[in-house]
Amino acid sequence: MMKEYEYIRFLLNKYWNCETSVEEEKQLQNFFSGKDIPEDLQKYAPLFKDYKESQLSIRLGNDFVKRLEAAIHQKEKEKQYITIRIFAPVLKIAASILIMVTLGIGIYFLANENKKPYFAETYNDPKAAIKDATYALEKLSEALQKGEEASKETFNELKNLNIDWTALDSMDVETESEAMIEPNEKENL
């Protein structure tokens, strides 16, 4: 026993000088965890026994691993969406540009539609245009003239028929007066 104490004292000296190995420090911890500790060494017992024991009693809850796994799972999920999230601002800008371009093109075409003339210019040579226009107007004029002549002829023919217009006009009045008399006659009867 004395030999063991001597060895412990020897180890303890090494320990204070930081010359002990991890293994030797374990031996010290084992020794101080026992009951047979010389009185002069008892004051060091808290260092080797109680410190280690109290520290080792500090542990994480049993559900830590479960929660960690859930957090890892969540992180993996987030990773999948991260690409979309990174490009979200770019996508927003692209969408805005697309809307603006669409609107621009729409407005441009609508504005052009309003400006469009009803009679489009089809002639390159103004002289040809005048010539064709004159031809068309002459044709129209001829047609109108023919129409006028035809109506004049009709009037003349009507004049030549010597119709008694007053008689024709009074025909309506007579029939009207007859219609007026008829009810009275019916009453007299």
Partner 1 sequence: MNNEKFHHIILSLKDNLYRLALSIVHDKAEAEDIVQDVFLKLWSKKDEWNNIDNAEAYCYRSTKNLALDRLSSRAIRRTESIDSQQESYAFIDSETPHLQFIRKEERSIIYRCIDELSQNQQLVFQLREIDGLSYGDIANVMGISEDLVKITLFRARKKMKELLEKYNDERI
CA 19 to chain centre: 72
- Judged by CB under 8 A, which stretch of 10-18, 113-121, 128-136, 169-177 contacts partner 1? 10-18
22 binds partner 1 (CB under 8 A): yes
- Residue (13 or 177) nearer to partner 1, CB: 13
Burial class of residue 139 (count of CB atoms within 10 Å of its CB; 0-12, 13-18, 19+) = exposed
41 binds partner 1 (CB under 8 A): no
- Residue (80 or 188) nearer to partner 1, CB: 80
Phi-psi region of 79 (alpha: psi -120 to 50; beta: other; left: phi over 0): alpha
Concatenated DSSP letters of 104-136: HHHHHHHHHHHH--SS----S-HHHHHHHHHHH
- Judged by CB under 8 A, which stretch of 14-22, 80-88, 89-97, 181-189 contacts partner 1? 14-22
Q: Quote the least distance from Cβ 6 to partner 1, whole Å.
A: 19
Q: Which helix (H) or strand (E) holds 80?
A: helix 64-115
Site for partner 1 in 64-123 (CB under 8 A): 64-65, 67-68, 71-72, 75
- Residue (82 or 98) nearer to partner 1, CB: 82
- Residue (56 or 150) nearer to partner 1, CB: 56
Residue whose pair of structure tokens reads 């412990």 in the numeric block: 8
Is 28:45 a contact under the CB 8 Å cutoff? no
58 φ/ψ angles, rounded to the nearest 5 degrees: -85, 110
- Judged by CB under 8 A, which stretch of 40-48, 131-139, 151-159, 173-181 contacts partner 1? 40-48
Tell me which residues touch partner 1 (CB under 8 A): 15-18, 22, 25-26, 43-47, 50-61, 64-65, 67-68, 71-72, 75
